[in-house]
Copies of this chain bind each other. A is one copy, B any other.
Amino acid sequence: MSLPHAILTALLEKPSSGLELTRRFDKSIGYFWSATHQQIYRELGKLEADGLIRTLPAEQPARGQRKSYEVLPAGRAELARWTAASQEPKPLRDALLLRLRAAAVVGTAGLGDDLRRHLELHERQLAEYQEIEKRDFPPGKDGPQDRLQHLVLRAGIDLETFWTGWLRHALEEFAELPGADPA
């Protein structure tokens, strides 16, 4: 039940059409809640049917024509309710860790390459986040909204820092393993 609220947040930040939302989900919000355009259109339909958003007036809704949405008061209320509601953290689910565990049984052949590839990807993501931090959150800027958004970005940076650190450690261990494939 998070996608509708992700969309409400995005629309409150700025009313948009489906495709614009899709683009924005590819960037900022998508960093921690990704969505495809099919999901977004489906959800926009539901949100409108539920009276939480509406199409901006002065727009005629035809098939191939852009339709922009804005959040209604009921939508803002629902978002506030959801934000404050207590929610269980979802248990971790990571295929790479599963593969490591499987490798303990069927051998590590071929796994090292993918670990290196993942390390590269996480390094790149970390660099991207750090760029954003430098660009969007310079030392002076610290209104309440900035503080909160910076906090979210911090989580991304710390997470990628964790992954790169752990992957480097894992690769060191791999190098020492008897049957491990060499670099």
A97 contacts across to B, CB distance below 8 A: 32-33, 152, 155-156
Majority secondary structure, A binding face: helix
Q: Interface size of A by Cβ–Cβ distance < 8 Å?
A: 74
Assuming A101-B148, A101-B149, is B84 touching A109 (CB within 8 A)? yes
Question: Are the C-beta atoms of A147 and B173 separated by less than 8 Å?
Answer: yes
- Please indicate the chain B residues that have their CB under 8 angstroms from the CB of A92 in the complex: 31-32, 156, 159
Identical copies in the complex: 2
Besides A83-B102, A84-B109, A85-B114, 20 other A-B contacts (C-beta < 8 A) = A31-B91, A32-B98, A34-B91, A79-B102, A80-B107, A82-B102, A83-B99, A84-B111, A87-B95, A87-B96, A89-B96, A89-B118, A92-B159, A100-B148, A104-B148, A151-B169, A151-B173, A154-B169, A158-B165, A162-B162
